[in-house]
Amino acid sequence: MSGDAATDVRDENAELVEELLAGKHRALARVITKIENRAPGYRNLVSELHEHTGHAEVVGITGSPGAGKSTLVDKMANYYRERGETVGVIAVDPSSPFTGGAVLGDRIRMASNVGDMDVFFRSMSARGTLGGLSTATTDAVKALDAFGKDKILIETVGAGQNEIDIVKSADTVAVLVPPGSGDDVQMLKAGILEIGDVFVVNKADLDGADRTVQELREMIHMQNDHTAGLATGHHGAGAVGSDETDDAESDDEESWEPAVVETIAKDGEGVADLVETLADHRAYLESSGLLEEKARMRYAEEIRNLLRDDVGGLLEGEIERHGGMDELVEGVRKRETDPYTVADEVIGPIEDCLDELRD
Say what the pLDDT of residue 131 is: 41
Say what the pLDDT of residue 192 is: 67
* Burial profile 233-272: b = 16 or more Cβ within 10 angstroms, e = fewer: ebbbbbbbeeeeeeeeeeeeebbbebbbbbbbbeebebbe
DSSP H or E stretch at residue 290: helix 290-321
Asked if CATH classification 3.40.50.300 holds for the domain at 54-288, the reply, yes or no, is yes
Q: Give the start-to-end residue ranges of the domains of the chain.
A: 1-52, 54-288, 305-358
Contact 41, 9 (CB under 8 A): yes
C-alpha neighbours within 13 Å on the C-beta side of residue 316: 6
Closest CA relative to residue 176, chosen from 213, 222, 123, 138: 213
Kindly give the confidence (pLDDT) of every residue in the chain, 359 residues in length, as a single tens digit, with 9 standing for 90 and above.
667 777 878 888 999 999 999 999 999 999 999 998 889 999 999 999 999 999 999 999 988 777 889 999 999 999 999 999 999 999 887 654 444 444 444 344 555 555 567 899 998 875 545 444 568 889 999 999 999 999 999 998 765 444 566 667 899 999 988 887 566 566 665 566 778 899 999 999 988 899 889 988 888 888 776 655 444 445 654 443 334 444 444 444 568 999 999 999 999 999 999 999 999 999 999 999 999 999 999 899 889 988 988 999 999 999 999 999 999 999 999 999 999 999 999 999 999 999 999 87
State how far the Cα of 328 lies from the Cα of 339, in Å rounded to an integer: 9
Our CA angle for 93, 98, 102, nearest 5°, is 15
- Start-to-end CA distance of the chain, whole Å, equals 32
C-alpha 40: how far from chain center: 24
Contact 130, 191 (CB under 8 A): no
Q: How many CB atoms lie within 10 A of CB 214?
A: 13
Our CA angle for 72, 75, 78, nearest 5°, is 150
